[in-house]
Chains A and B, each alone.
Chain A
């Protein structure tokens, strides 16, 4: 069974630029999560999808972050414009349903200069 795929693995951008991350969850998983993990901290949930609907985006900075999950499969997370404090690893995870274990992708390490 293929795992959660993410791309790119690394990205370096200047502040005020935009960036997009892509995630392909495990086939058949209804729930998809995006997390932000700042160095030395635990994963912080940014947004949770159930199929293609959003169930929790309470911690998503909506003035600069956006996410979508078209057709309930792949998802993209966008930051526009980026700030220095957005430097972090962005993790995508999926689960068959909300209460199940999550399977994590390798993450995208974003550096904003």
Chain B
């Protein structure tokens, strides 16, 4: 069965500092990979996705993520964090399971940004 692990429950960074949020997945083949963001009181919004091709994908709000097959990882990065980036970030995996596309979300990483 597929699974997603986000090992960091809570991360605090200073505004302007770089950010990396970790995501590891377990699946026999390469799944479709997504990062979503949930701001306080808001719904989930897609940041970026990986289907195939270039392993470094660019998303909205200056985020990027790199797919590393050898490490089964899809870490999210941002070179310079803004206070408005404070939110909860979810990694998600979609993979073929018994003839349909099964989705699994990670438990999330809550990002706090300090001035």
The residues of A with any CB-CB pair to B shorter than 8 Å are 31, 33, 35, 41-45, 48, 50, 55-56, 91, 93, 97-99, 101-107
Contact status B103-A45, CB under 8 Å = yes
Contact status A48-B100, CB under 8 Å = yes
Contact status B46-A99, CB under 8 Å = no
Of B34, B42, B105, B106, the most chain A CB neighbours within 10 A belong to B105
9 contacts between A and B (CB under 8 A): A41-B108, A43-B44, A44-B105, A91-B43, A97-B101, A99-B32, A102-B103, A104-B36, A104-B43
- Tell me if B90 counts as interface (CB < 8 A to partner A): yes
Contact status B105-A43, CB under 8 Å = yes
Contact status A42-B94, CB under 8 Å = no
Q: How large is the interface on B (under 10, 10 to 19, 20 to 34, 35 or more residues)?
A: 20 to 34
Contact status A42-B106, CB under 8 Å = yes
Chain B residues near A50 (CB, 8 Å)? 100
> A101 CA to B57 CA in the complex, in Å?
15
Give 5 nearest A-B pairs by CB, closest first: A98-B101, A55-B100, A104-B43, A42-B105, A104-B44
Interface string of B21-41 (1 = CB under 8 A from A): 000000000001010100000
> A7 CA to B68 CA in the complex, in Å?
40
Q: Which residue of B is nearest A43, CB measured?
A: B105
Q: Indicate whether A98 sits within 8 Å of B100 (C-beta atoms), given known contacts A104-B44, A107-B43.
A: yes
Chain A residues near B36 (CB, 8 Å)? 104
Restricting to B33-89, which residues have a CB under 8 Å from any CB of A?
Answer: 34, 36, 42-46, 49, 51
> A33 CA to B94 CA in the complex, in Å?
13
Contact status B46-A102, CB under 8 Å = yes
Least CB distance, A7 to chain B, in whole angstroms? 14
Contact status A33-B43, CB under 8 Å = no
Q: Which residue of B is nearest A92, CB measured?
A: B43
> A36 CA to B40 CA in the complex, in Å?
17
Q: Which residue of B is nearest A4, CB measured?
A: B43
Chain B residues near A103 (CB, 8 Å)? 46
Q: Indicate whether A42 sits within 8 Å of B101 (C-beta atoms), given known contacts A91-B44, A99-B94.
A: no
